[in-house]
Structure 1
Amino acid sequence: MFVQSGPGKTIINNFCGDGFQKVWRSCGTCNDEVSQNSKQRTVTITNSNFTGKGHVIASGNAPYNDKVSFNNVKIFGYKNRSTRVVYACGEVRPEIMDIVVPDLSKQGVKNQHMKKPCIGRWFKMETDEGKQHNI
């Protein structure tokens, strides 16, 4: 849905995503003429709801020190394969492209458990029965 090519900050607030591949993605090796220190991109996703089928909500570029923050994000339908969001946060590496790492939650949505780029981990998982699970 969103690709951030240059340095700076993106704020996604009060957003609803349904049936997406990726909601926000940092570019791989864009703007190589810019100095390494000024390539950092940040995204903050707040007060937003997502349901799949979706692959990843946000993917940051670790070599450029991108930061991905979440606050009050609800992910619906995780128990159903046809509506599951597979990853909450992923990592883009220019030489490998997308990398996502193992399960952080036992509820079915995976989140990268590394220093970079995912720094927020407050999600409310909504089951089809309406129960919430914080991860």
Structure 2
Amino acid sequence: MRRLRPLLGAALALAAALNTVTLVAGPSPAAAADWPAAKRVQKVTATIKVTGTRNYDFTRFVGAGALGGGDQAENQPPVLELADGATVSNVIIGAPAADGIHCRGTCTLKNVWWEDVGEDAATFKGTRGSQTMTIDGGGARKAADKVFQHNGPGTFVIRNVQVEGFGKLYRSCGVCKTQYQRHVVLDNVTVKSPGHDVVGINPTPYGDTARLTRITVLGDPGRKIVICQKFRGVTVGEPTKTGSGPDGRNCLYRTSDITYR
């Protein structure tokens, strides 16, 4: 019996070890990425016009001279202007940021980071409903008003993006001299309070739509951030709010698409 006791003890220890499970939390679909460090700094006194595909290798662009504004003044020039079909990647927009980046048609922004948003981070100024502006990866901080502005027609895609401190993450132009039907698609986006609206669209009278999946909201226990704000868009005057929340027609998402942490 004495010989069996060590064996029995070892067997019990092995059984206990096999029944011990360590749970390791994996990253959420909208897990925030680390903000990149700039490899170099370039002052920009006149808008850089981009065609084709450019990888800027984490250059920080800082506005100077005519681009030295970092406030909310309207009609500021952009730091970068992308032609129809252009793509930029690995860009950091520092402060002052002027009006960030403009797209003149279909364009793609990959892994672009705005450290302190000026007037807007990026504006879609397309001319055809078939055009698409895509923001894929990256993030934005300190947007007193809008992060992404949609002035022309077409579809705005925002995915794998994180935003900290914002007025509106996306806004279909509320008062433009020429209005269009616009569409926005958000997927795998993290927003951190303080903030007001994740998207603002004009279902009335233009038929805008917003489709949202995998949205994570941080630091908003009272759920004050509006996920999908609807407006009556205008060509003069001021837009008015017409409601909010999923409706199956214009604000296209389910409550399960939104995660609060």
TM-score (normalised: structure 2): 0.38
Secondary structure, counterpart of 2:230 in structure 1:
strand
Aligned to 1:125: 260
Deviation of 1:20 (Å):
0.3
Higher relative contact order (CA 8 A, sep 6+): 1
In structure 1, list runs of 5 or more residues that go unmatched: 102-110, 127-135
Distance 1:118 1:28, change over 3 A: same
Structure 2 residue corresponding to 1:90, chosen from 224, 229, 236 = 229
More helix by share: 2
Aligned to 1:76: 218
How many pairs align?
Answer: 109
In structure 2, list runs of 5 or more residues that go unmatched: 1-146
Deviation of 1:93 (Å):
1.3
What is the alpha-carbon distance in structure 1 between the residues aligned to residue 183 and residue 239 of structure 2?
Answer: 18
Deviation of 1:116 (Å):
4.7
**Deviation digits for residues 63-112 of structure 1 (CA, Å, limit 9, x no counterpart):** 111110111111111216xxx652011012135524163xxxxxxxxx52
Larger radius of gyration: 2
- Contact persistence 2:201–2:209 (CA under 8 A): yes
Identical positions, percent: 28
Structure 2 residue corresponding to 1:18, chosen from 150, 159, 164 = 164
Structure 2 residue corresponding to 1:67, chosen from 198, 209, 213 = 209
**Deviation digits for residues 22-60 of structure 1 (CA, Å, limit 9, x no counterpart):** 00000124253x7xxxx2111111011011110000011
Q: RMSD of the TM alignment (CA)?
A: 2.1
What is the alpha-carbon distance in structure 2 between the residues aligned to residue 73 and residue 85 of structure 1?
Answer: 15
2:192 is the counterpart of 1:51: yes
TM-score (normalised: structure 1): 0.70
Aligned to 1:104: none
